[in-house]
Chains A and B, each alone.
Chain A
Amino acid sequence: MWQWLFVAGLIILSVGCSNNTEGQFPQKNISILIPYGPGGGFDTTVRVFAPYFAAQLGEGINVLPQNMPGTGGRRATASLYRADPDGYTLGLLNLPGLVLPSILGEQVDYELRQMSWIGRIESQDFLLLVRADSDIHSIEDFQAQDEITFVSIGYGATVLAAMQIVAEQLDLMSKNPIFITGYEGTTDQLMALVRGDGNATIAPISTALQYISSGNLRPLAATGENRSEVLANVPTFAELGYPDLSQLNVQRSLAGPPGMDPAVLTRLRETFSRTMEDPEFKSAAATAQMDVVPLNGAMVAAEIEASFSFYEKFKSKLSNPN
């Protein structure tokens, strides 16, 4: 009899402990999937963010960056989508890069709307750029060109979609603009413009900045609601009468698998917000030239809805130009 009571006691204790465990998330290290290889922008963001996020989660917990490159970020996203929603596997996702494939009619193994969004870390607006030694000084000059040739990363990339939407909105389609695609990255694309492969491109502000200050490239206009602090003399598309273009940008947001326990999600979201406020994180992010524009998890979900309807609107303009 006593033996049975003892066993029952042990069971109650262990159940109590496991309840307690749930209350005390996290109990072990957390991994953040990086959908690209080491060295790129996503890698840098996670590596800068991880130690400060870990510090906010509590002592003895590490946050481990884990590179999972492949299929343009879709491999890691699909893997995150299928992962156990216990809060120990998170991922930094590319928006609208992951929205685009389904808009372009491709099969994807994830559903962005169902992900447990924790928060946005970065958001970068785009610049429309031409060569600094060209005679194009404004959007009007650009529209007056006889030949328009954009240089871009390959089909499916956010920047190419942005160029196609800009071309449509600026009424350039009647000039049959050429899109030389297939450049391997944003810097490749900028170098191709400097070389004169084409006469315009679109790139995130932070990547283009050095090419502007070195006197190679000239920005004509920027996306985003407000002017960039670092390029205060560059007008926004909205100011120039193209409000739709202000929505073009590229964002990096942290997410977990669908169906995460609300208590765990709340804990992660609160920790995320505290990390974004941490002055030490802010200074490390500034050193790594990150564009930290935080947004809470609930707002990110709304942002995704907006992104889907925005790109859905331009769907017919986004077919492969080549």
Chain B
Amino acid sequence: MFESLLTAVAYLLSDSANLAYLSLGVAVGLLFGIIPGLGGATAIALLLPLTFGMAPEQAIILMGGVMGAVSAGGAVTAILLNTPGTAPNAATCIDGYPLTQQGKAGLAIGAAASASAIGGIFGLFILVLVLPIARTIVLWFGPPAFFMLALLGLTSLTVSSGNMLRGLIAACIGLFIGFVGYDEIGGTARYTGGSDYLWDGFSIVPVLIGLFAIAEMMSLFVKGGSITQVGSQTSIRFTDTIQGIKATLKNYRIVVSGSVIGTLIGAVPGVGGVVASFMSYSFAAQITKENKTFGNGDIRGVIAPESANNAKDGGGLIPTLAFGVPGSAEMAIFLGVLILHGLNPGPTLLIEREDTIYVLILTLLGATILSTGFICVAAFYLVRIAYIDSSILIPSVISVSLLGAYAVQSAIGDVFAAAFFGLLGYLMIRFDYPRITLVIALVLCSLMERNYTQSMIMFQGDWTGFFQDNTAVVLLLFSVAALSISAFRALRKKKA
């Protein structure tokens, strides 16, 4: 292991071109992460033809740079514009945006960047440790465990949303929207009205753009002025960001718990990241004392999801490296890049190309550090977005967002979907329904339904089968614990 690690370090440092590719990847990743709608998947797909003439390792360095930087960029828009760059950044909005409205955007960005750097490094460290047993871990998760994981995700949602009834209604709307599209097991198209566009269901990017970016701009239009009225552009201090970094270090317990949750849950392909950042948030909100400020701009509410969010990238590589199963859209394209360069992602990659895998891990590490450093420095300028007048901010954000919605799969339907969800999002802001709950329910919906049906086919209709699966039982116990803690707290509050 250490031999391969040293070979990889030597390779990375052997050629200045390698470092140039890393920096280029980080720059592209940050840019695509920050712009709503564009994400890692689009960036990698665009850079793919550039790698044709490169050695496989150089292609990995370029793409690793993108993947390591993109989620750090996604947190910036979550904090400044209440628009998660990627779905796992959604939890960061809950406390990040109120901080911006209070004129503390620099603090929030500093905390998010440093928490995600520490989480990212932690996740990669754990990845290196568990690589030898990666296959065993991946095999723990079958359909029953996936179903229980989705259930746990929904549980932590309900527990963490302020108004339980409105949270449940929003979650139900999310589940309903999630049912739209072709049901692969039942073999029927549901709620598509015969439209080809709806056959694949709503993809997450236009939903996020509509519910957050567009809805937020509509709300700002009604309100007028700029996002924050506290302070002015001249009052921005670089020390705000440093205060944010200090806040992360002070709340090291939350960083550690977030990183652990992120690495463990992030290893689950598909939606691991979304569940992980939410669980980390609700865990922090449940466990910490004096938790009343959560949801109204508590810095701990930024640190918790962001540390989990980057740690999940390390965890997310576990199924990819062990079995060649992509954990996310960008990972799927990355696997395509590997194939084009003659590397066959699958169970033997780990044995045959250990050094190459360490090049990837080191690149991700480098990208995490570089992107954090960049964001901390750039925060000084980025924070100005919060002071831009709405007459300039609104048209810019809306045009970029709609372009982003179109860019994902060049489908005009995505632009209309973004507009529709924009209206829905605005109504939800107006009547105070949690939009994030809707998104998470939507993301978890297909996972939950598919794995429930698969489990029931496996158990031949006998639901007690769920209790035969150890991982599923452990996850169910977590859900029960989360509900009991919140019930217990509510009871104690009543008595007091």
Contact = CB atoms under 8 A, between A and B. Distances in A.
B458 A71 contact: no
A44 to B, nearest CB: 5
A154 B143 contact: no
A287 B45 CA distance: 20
A48 B348 CA distance: 24
A210 B347 contact: yes
B222 interface: no
Contacts of A9: none
Interface in B340-385: 340-342, 344, 346-349, 351
B342 A322 contact: no
A183 B187 CA distance: 13
Contact of A288 (B187, B199, B339): B339
Interface in A32-79: 37-40, 43-44, 47-48, 51, 66-72, 74-75, 78
A214 B345 CA distance: 12
A187 B411 CA distance: 28
A216 interface: yes
B48 A214 contact: no
Interface in B129-149: 138-139, 142-143
Contacts of B409: 37, 67-70
A211 interface: yes
B184 A287 contact: no
A198 B270 CA distance: 21
Q: Interface on chain B toward A: helix, strand, loop, or mixed SS?
A: helix
A43 to B, nearest CB: 6
Interface residues of B, number: 50
A213 B348 contact: yes
Interface string A134-157: 000000000000000100011110
B324 interface: yes
A213 B350 CA distance: 13
Nearest to B194: A107
A115 B486 CA distance: 62
B22 to A, nearest CB: 21
27 contacts: A37-B333, A44-B336, A44-B339, A44-B340, A47-B49, A66-B410, A67-B45, A67-B410, A68-B410, A70-B197, A70-B200, A70-B409, A78-B196, A149-B458, A180-B143, A188-B325, A190-B323, A191-B138, A194-B139, A197-B143, A198-B458, A211-B347, A214-B348, A287-B340, A287-B342, A320-B187, A322-B453
Interface in A155-200: 155-156, 178-185, 187-188, 190-192, 194-198
B430 to A, nearest CB: 33
Nearest to B347: A214
B387 interface: no
A188 to B, nearest CB: 6
Contact of A37 (B186, B270, B332, B346): B332
B423 to A, nearest CB: 24
B344 A182 contact: no
Interface string A274-298: 0000000000000111000000000
Contact of A70 (B324, B348, B411, B457): B411
Contacts of A154: 184-185, 187
B342 A39 contact: no
Question: Main secondary structure on chain A at its contact with chain B?
Answer: mixed
Contacts of B323: 187, 190-191, 194
A289 B348 CA distance: 15
B342 A210 contact: no
Nearest to B457: A180
Contacts of B351: 214
Nearest to A107: B194
B161 interface: no
A180 B450 CA distance: 10
What interface size band does chain A fall in? 35 or more
Contacts of A288: 339-340, 342
A197 B337 CA distance: 30
Given A37-B332, A44-B340, A191-B325, A197 B458 contact: yes
Contacts of B234: none
A217 to B, nearest CB: 9
Interface in B194-229: 196-197, 199-200
Contacts of B457: 178-181, 322
B48 A38 contact: yes
Contact of B339 (A182, A188, A190, A289): A289
Interface in A73-95: 74-75, 78
Given A70-B196, A214-B347, 5 more contacts: A39-B333, A47-B48, A48-B340, A156-B187, A195-B139
Contacts of A184: 270
B448 to A, nearest CB: 12
B142 A195 contact: yes
In the A-B complex, list the 10 residue pairs whose CB atoms are closest, starting with the nearest.
A154-B184, A39-B336, A210-B346, A39-B333, A155-B187, A214-B347, A38-B45, A287-B342, A320-B187, A182-B185
Among A44, A70, A179, max chain B CB count under 10 A is at: A70
Interface string A209-234: 01101101000000000000000000
Nearest to A191: B323
Contacts of B41: 38
Contacts of B182: 71-72
Contact of B332 (A39, A48, A67, A78): A39
Nearest to A287: B342
A40 B333 CA distance: 7
Nearest to A64: B49
Contacts of A195: 139, 142
Contacts of A37: 329, 332-333, 409
B460 interface: yes
A122 B251 CA distance: 56
A287 B196 contact: no
A44 B326 CA distance: 16
Contact of B185 (A70, A198, A214, A322): A322
B278 interface: no
Interface string B401-420: 00000000111000000000
A71 B453 CA distance: 22
Contacts of A66: 410
Given A155-B185, A322-B185, A322-B186, A182 B411 contact: no
